Amino acid sequence: MRTPSDGWDEDEREALALDDLGAELEAVGTRRALGREDEDRLLARVEREARSAEAGPTVRSWRWGLALAAATVVLAAGAIWVLGRDGNGGTRPESTVAVATLAPVFHLPLERPELKLSPSALAWRAPGGENTLLADLKPAFDAFRAGDDRRADQAFSALSAKYPGSVEIALYQGVARLFVGDVPGAIVSLTTAERLADRSLAWDVGWYRAVADERAGNVAAARARLTAMCAPAAARGRPACEALARLPGR
């Protein structure tokens, strides 16, 4: 800009200085990446002009306050841009913070049982005199033994309508559901098994129902069930007593 014949007055010089600073800030903002030299030069200039503004009129101070605010914004934006870039000039990918979660602690172990048949299953006969229940149970039992619990669950579901009185289907489907983490579904199956169980499978049903109760958060129900199983006259009472001692809330 050409200097007028009478020179610049104070307000005009101040406006020019602001324009120069604005241009400098804009140039830095366009480059986005601030170097140490950029930061030092801008901060020194803003501080110098701000000190001179403190001794001048109110309008002058107000103008330089705006300049200082603008410089601060540009510097902060530049710093954020620099921090967001890697050493090769590229943008760093966002980092993912892994949050550790503690797995729940259960005191009743979930172990795969040996498959057993009740006397009623061995004696079951179709109208033609054949025991189709045992033949139909084989695919579900094979999947269960192999640890393919989702397939076993599906196979037991397909059999439950055909053999509604089979405690084996209800019991081992409940156990398979425990292994896949379907605790509510396991409780439904094991409740049915409790209604159907005879003495040959009553302890097994009671044990896995206690396991399901604890995993459902109902420790009081698990404790009550194990207490009944721990009675001196009950068969296999000792394992139930030992498990009862491990449960919290005695």
Per-residue pLDDT of the chain (250 residues; tens, 9 = 90+): 555 555 545 554 554 455 555 555 455 455 544 566 666 665 666 566 555 554 444 444 444 454 444 444 444 444 444 444 555 555 555 555 555 566 778 889 999 999 999 999 999 999 988 999 999 999 999 999 999 999 999 999 999 999 999 999 999 999 999 999 999 999 999 999 999 999 999 999 999 999 999 999 999 999 999 999 988 666 678 889 999 998 887 6
CB atoms within 10 A of CB 131: 14
**Distances in whole angstroms, Cα of residue 93 to Cα of each of 60, 84, 85, 86, 98:** 44, 9, 9, 9, 15
206, 227 contact by CB (below 8 A): no
Tokens of 104: 């729940």
> Helix or strand or coil: residue 95?
coil
What sections of the chain are H helices per DSSP? 10-31, 36-54, 58-83, 119-123, 132-145, 149-160, 167-179, 183-196, 202-215, 219-229, 237-246
Quick one: pLDDT at residue 132? 95
pTM over 0.85: no
Please state, in angstroms and rounded to a whole number, the distance separating the CA atoms of residues 23 and 34: 15
The CATH T-level fold of domain 119-246 is: 1.25.40
